[in-house]
Chain A
């Protein structure tokens, strides 16, 4: 059983650019969520996808968008990057059902200069 994998592991962008982060869910998991973790902070919920539809969103602006594909892999897109977007972006997957265990990937470290 493969775990949650994210790519790339590190990324450097400049302000105003756009970025796409990718996540492959653990086998058999149909729910994926994305979190942003700033340095020294706990992760903050961005949004969740269940069977290719967004079914929950945190307090993030519309320039944060996502997709989930039929194979349950997922993308996080961020437009018009700002300096404060510099953070570790974590993808997590689980089977359907709130109390199912959540598995996190190792994250993508994004630096915006």
Chain B
């Protein structure tokens, strides 16, 4: 069974602080995605990383894919209360030339940013 382990599970910080969420696996993934989910809603895709060592920036969010494509991190600079939510990493594996797209999700990190 492929597992994605996220850490920490809970994170409670003050506005303006920096934070990093980690996503680790023993399996290699073709790509890794990060989602943000708010209560009562489905996950919303933030970014997809596909190349080992890749770094993507989305305003105050920086995403990194490990060289071996087994791990990833999400770094938020100067967190704001609007960043509060559940952050999920999800790995995908290609299966030949089909559109098979099973995503394996981590258990999530609940982030709370206090004003």
Contacts and interface: CB of A to CB of B under 8 A. Distances in A.
Given A98-B92, A98-B94, A56 B44 contact: no
Interface residues of B, number: 30
A55 B94 CA distance: 13
A99 B103 CA distance: 11
Given A31-B101, A42-B105, A99 B48 contact: yes
Interface in A16-58: 31, 33, 35, 40-45, 48, 50, 55-56, 58
Contacts, number: 74
Interface stretch (A62-70, A71-79, A101-109): A101-109
Contact of B101 (A48, A59, A103, A106): A48
Given A43-B43, A45-B104, A31 B99 contact: yes
B73 to A, nearest CB: 17
Interface of B: 1, 4, 6, 30-31, 33, 40-45, 48, 50, 88, 90, 92, 94-95, 98-108
Given A43-B105, A55-B98, A58-B102, 12 more contacts: A42-B88, A42-B106, A42-B107, A42-B108, A43-B43, A44-B105, A55-B99, A56-B102, A90-B42, A96-B99, A98-B101, A99-B31
Interface of A: 4, 31, 33, 35, 40-45, 48, 50, 55-56, 58-59, 90, 92, 94, 96-99, 101-107
